[in-house]
Each structure stands twice: as C-alpha cells, then as structure tokens.
Amino acid sequence: MTTSAKPNPSVVNSRIEGMRDMDPAERRDVIAAASGIDATSAAALSGDSSLPLSVANGMIENVIGTFELPLGVATNFVVNGKDYLVPMAVEEPSVVAAASYMAKIARAGGGFHTSSTAPIMRAQVQVIGTGDPFGARAALLAHREELIEMANSKDTVLTGLGGGCKDIEVHVFSDSAIGPMAVMHLLVDVRDAMGANTVNTMAEMLAPRVEEITGGTVRLRILSNLADKRVVTASVRVPTDALTTKTLTGADVARGIVEACELAIIDPYRAATHNKGIMNGIDPVVVATGNDWRAIEAGAHAYAAQSGRYTSLSRWEIAKDGALVGTLELPMAMGIVGGATRTHPAAQAALKLMGVTGAQELAEVTVAVGLAQNMAALR
C-alpha cells in the first residue's frame, strides 16, 4: 500500500488519470497517495471489516450484522480553488462517473464556488393550552436573554467553541385543530456537529421554564430538520466551449439544460426527479462520511417546498457572455463530530480522504457534488 506522511490538502491533485482501468486495490493505493491518508485509514476504506461487529453493536439495537455498499471516489473536484477527492457510498451505477466527468468540465472554468451561513439549527418547543398564544409569545420574547443563558448553561464544550443558542423566535398558530399554539424556536450554532442531540437537549431543558413563563403545557421539544438557517450555496460557471459534444454545439447544450431546469422550476412532477438527481450526488457523500442522510433529505425537500410550491433546488442560466451558470442552494446539517462520523472507522477515513477540517467545508464540497450531479443529469 502506498502511503505518505500527514496530508497537506492544498497539494492534493484530484485529477487522476486512468482510474477506470485499475482494480480496486490499485485505485485505493493511488487515492491514498494523492490524499496522503495513512495505511490504517486506507484499510478502513477497503470494506474488509471496515465496521467491526462490536462497533456496529454499539451503534443501533438488535444488531445481527453489517450492510455493505460500494464506496467510490469522485475525482476532478475543485471547490474554492482547492482540490478534493470525494468519497461516495452508493449502489447506483454511473453516479460516481457522472460527478467526476462534470467536475472535469467545471475544472476547466475554475471549478465550483461555494459559501455557507453559520451552522444554525432550530429546535422547536410546542406550547399548547394557553388561550393567548400571542401573549405567550410576548412573554417568551420578554425572557429571551434568560432563556438563551439557560440553554447555554450545560454545553460548555459547544459554547467554548463559539457555538450555542444565539436567539429565539416564537411562531404562533392561532387556528390549529387543537386550539391556539405558540412554538418557540431555539436558534443554536452547533459548530462542527450535525446538532440534533445538542439542540434536543437544550429544548428539553427549557421546557419547564417555558411552561412557567407561558402558563401553557409543553408538548414537543425537538429539532426541526428544515435547517433553513444553515444553508449552503454552490455555483459553477461553464464556458460554452466546454459543453460541446459530437452532435451539439456548446450553446445548444447550455440552452437545453436551462430549458430542462425550467420545467423543474414550474412543475413539481419534474422537480421531484430533478432534485432526486441532485441528491444522487449529495447522499453518497453524506453516507460515506457517516452523516444522517434522512436529515439531509428531509431538509432538502422541505426547503424546496418553502415557497408553498415544491420546486427545483437549483437554477441554470445563460450569462451575458454565453457561459452556462448553475447554482444550488439547500440546508446542510452535516457534522464531523458526533453520531457515526466518529464511531464508524470508514467515515473517519472518508473525512480524512476529503481533507476537510470543518463541518461547513464538508457541507460546501457536498453541495458542489450535488450541483455536478444535477448538471450531469440535465446534460
């Protein structure tokens, strides 16, 4: 096995020729050398006892074994000027090849550019039985500082890292089928965590005080997977020349992509398939890094419907100079601490392979892969 010293992600070259003609062990050697991961990490990605039964037994209940998926590596990705090799765990053929090919095309135009908001998650605390939900809202907002301080009193690790509860919101549903309701949201910066356990614990802790303040009864106290304050945006700009095929000009291909996207924007039947194509890129990275793909899926589709009509998560346009410009925006509750990201040895190795140092960087690269996959499907 070829390995090298501590990785220096800035010198990783994700442009690897001839991967298709290698066998899995050769590919793993080449990827390990290119990314600088150590032999233990490379072995953890091999699939041979990657998840020991004893570890699996501690992860969920009634364990009888482990379940394997193929793990591939997408090549050619450049995101914000940095090269990435991207691990993808997925059962569907063509996904890894399509992502790699689109990343190659994008690379010629400078690759992908991304940005993200702070990693703010929401927890909801449902208050019923007050009769005056707007009064309850006003009372909770009047206690904002006290509630934030209380929420932050336990997780000193998180607050020490600059995270923690930053604000509260109170939403009112005055005409629900079970009577008026006030729903307090905790807005929590969860730093490098996915954050579900973190915010659930805070919401749980505040419940008795919320009942005292409102005179109501607290029912649900749990995170929202519609992480609309933890949003990643990726964009790509592809010169038309790079899109030319044997039978079509680059301008024709660009126009076709824009026209196909338009149907997804206006028609939920198409949008569902269009967004599935995006998730073909995102989910395999989420799975490979031990993240919660149900949370990512729930957040993505809820975000796609936030205007009241389910629509495309991406937009494709033709810029003034004729270049094809694609953008993708969605919530990304991904972590590099907590959950399976820490307990699954292959997930740990996958994070090392990517060379990401924080949850936001991981989320941004993952959304770039989603955009590449979307472009591949439309093309």
Token duo for residue 345: 């040895």
In contact, 325 and 316? CB cutoff 8 Å: yes
Of 7 and 331, CB closest to ligand NAD: 331
**Closest distance to ligand NAD from the beta carbon of 121 (Å):** 9
**Closest distance to ligand NAD from the beta carbon of 41 (Å):** 20
Phi, psi of 88 (to 5 degrees): -135, 120
**Closest distance to ligand NAD from the beta carbon of 251 (Å):** 43
Binding site for ligand NAD (CB under 6 A): 155, 157-158, 161, 163, 190-198, 200, 223, 225, 292, 295, 335, 337-339
Of 221 and 379, CB closest to ligand NAD: 221
Of 223 and 261, CB closest to ligand NAD: 223
In contact, 354 and 365? CB cutoff 8 Å: yes
Of 18 and 162, CB closest to ligand NAD: 162
Phi, psi of 367 (to 5 degrees): -70, -35
**Closest distance to ligand NAD from the beta carbon of 303 (Å):** 14
| Strand segments (E) across 176-284 | 181-189, 217-224, 231-238
Smallest CA-to-CA distance from 15 within 103, 91, 80 is with: 103
Radius of gyration of the chain (CA): 23
**Closest distance to ligand NAD from the beta carbon of 36 (Å):** 22
Of 250 and 290, CB closest to ligand NAD: 290
DSSP label at 243? G
Of 180 and 338, CB closest to ligand NAD: 338
**Closest distance to ligand NAD from the beta carbon of 112 (Å):** 25
Q: Collect all residues with Cβ–Cβ distance below 8 Å to 375 and sequence separation of at least 6.
A: 102, 105, 106, 236, 238, 257, 316, 326
